[in-house]
Amino acid sequence: MANEIKTHSQKSTPAMTATVKVLCLCLPVFLTACSSDNTSDLQEYVASIKARPKGRIKPLPEITPYETYLYQVSHLRDPFTPFIAQEEASLEIQDSGLHPNLNRKREELEQYSLDSLTFVGHIEKNGKTWALITAPDKVIYRVLPGNHMGSNYGEILAITETSILLNEIIPNGVGGWTEREASLDLSE
């Protein structure tokens, strides 16, 4: 039995050969049947499309010639030099004498910028008007004229029912200092 190994050969049978021959003969007949010359309706449609009046395409707009611009820089400022004029640069050396008092002890509200502080009310007692200020840390502070607040060395000049008037000392941009008036209005 060991010598008898059954192999399945792929021999073609006579029935398979006959089927292949019939298909080879019938295929050209089927293909010629599909290619009939009955295209008269298609030719009529193409002729009707070609007989329609042709549309007009608008002409292209006329292109205006480009006008060149000559850039002359002899009378303009050089963009690569500093914007501050030479006269203003000499002001840097001169000092107006105005300086913030850096020797005094800074007050609690000077650690916050003025726009982060909120004027929430005022109290009058014994002829003095106290302003109530809320800081970003959600603590309410009392201030009098003469106190300082804001990060620009702002000194409180006056307190009214609707606003606090301050005098700030800010850098002038050329190494010195200048004064600026500011106010903090009552929030609603």
143 found inside a domain = yes
- Tell me if 141 is assigned to some domain: yes
- Is residue 39 situated within a structural domain? no
* pLDDT the model gives residue 165: 94
**In a domain? residue 56:** no
pLDDT of residue 1: 47
Q: What is the pLDDT of residue 123?
A: 92
| CA atoms lying within 13 Å on the CB side of residue 96 | 15
Task: Domain of residue 151: give its range.
Answer: 108-185
**Mean pLDDT over the full length of the chain:** 82
126 found inside a domain: yes
Domain contains 131: yes
Question: Residue 20 has what pLDDT?
Answer: 81
pTM, to two decimals? 0.50
Question: Any idea what the CATH number is for the domain that residue 119 is in?
Answer: 2.30.30.830
What is the per-residue pLDDT across 121-148, written as a single tens digit (0 to 9) for each?
999 988 889 999 999 999 999 999 999 9
Element (H, E) at 167: strand 163-171
State how many domains the chain has: 1
